[in-house]
Structure 1
Amino acid sequence: MWTLLFDIDGTLIRTRGVGMGAMGQAIVEHYGHTDIPDVRVHGCTDRGIISELFRQLEIDLDADHSGFLQTYCELLHGKLKVHGGDLLPGVVDLLEHLNAHPNVALGLLTGNAQRAAEIKLDHFGLREYFLFGGYGDDHSDRNDVAEEASNAAATFLGDRFDDAKVWVIGDTSNDIRCGRSIGAKVLAVETGGDCKDTLAAKEPDLQLSDLSNVSAWLKTLDS
Structure 2
Amino acid sequence: MNKSKYLILFDVDYTLVKGSKIHKESIVEGIKKIFGVDPPIEKLKLHGMTDQQIVTDLLKICGVDKKIIESKMKECLTAIAQLYNINKSTDKVTLMEGVRFLLEEISKDNDFIPGLVTGNIESIAYGKLSLVGISQYFSIGGFGSDHIERHKLVEIAVERAKAKLGIDRFKTFVVGDTPKDINAAKKAGVYSIGIASGSFSREELEKYGADLILESLLDKDKLIEFIKSK
TM-score by length of 2: 0.87
Partner of 2:59: 54
Partner of 2:174: 168
Equivalent residue for 1:191, pick from 184, 190, 197? 197
User: CA 1:194–1:168 in structure 2 vs 1: closer, same or farther (change >3 Å)?
Assistant: same
In structure 1, give the amino acid aligned to 2:156.
E
Partner of 2:131: 123
| Unmatched 5+ stretches in structure 2 | none
User: CA 1:119–1:201 in structure 2 vs 1: closer, same or farther (change >3 Å)?
Assistant: same
2:27 aligned with 1:23: yes
Partner of 1:150: 158
Q: Deviations over 1:162-183 (max 9, x none)?
A: 2221111001111111111222
CA–CA separation in structure 1 for the residues paired with 2:202 and 2:147: 27
In structure 2, give the amino acid aligned to 1:87.
L
The percent of aligned pairs where both chains have the same amino acid is 27
Partner of 1:111: 119
In structure 2, give the amino acid aligned to 1:20.
K
* 2:182 and 2:208 in contact (8 A); partners too: yes
Partner of 1:33: 37
CA RMSD, 1 decimal: 1.9
| Greater shift in the superposed pair: 138-147 or 58-67 | 58-67
In structure 1, give the amino acid aligned to 2:140.
F
Q: Deviations over 1:80-104 (max 9, x none)?
A: 3223121100101111111111211
TM-score by length of 1: 0.90
2:206 aligned with 1:200: yes
CA–CA separation in structure 1 for the residues paired with 2:133 and 2:109: 19
In structure 2, give the amino acid aligned to 1:53.
L
SS of the aligned residue for 2:120 comes to: coil
Shift of 1:127: 1.5
- Equivalenced residue count is 221
Equivalent residue for 1:43, pick from 43, 48, 56? 48
* 2:97 and 2:217 in contact (8 A); partners too: yes
* 1:146 and 1:181 in contact (8 A); partners too: no
| Unmatched 5+ stretches in structure 1 | none
2:9 aligned with 1:5: yes
Equivalent residue for 1:101, pick from 97, 106, 109? 109
* 2:39 and 2:58 in contact (8 A); partners too: no
In structure 2, give the amino acid aligned to 1:49.
I
* 1:3 and 1:166 in contact (8 A); partners too: yes
CA–CA separation in structure 1 for the residues paired with 2:102 and 2:156: 24
Shift of 1:35: 5.0
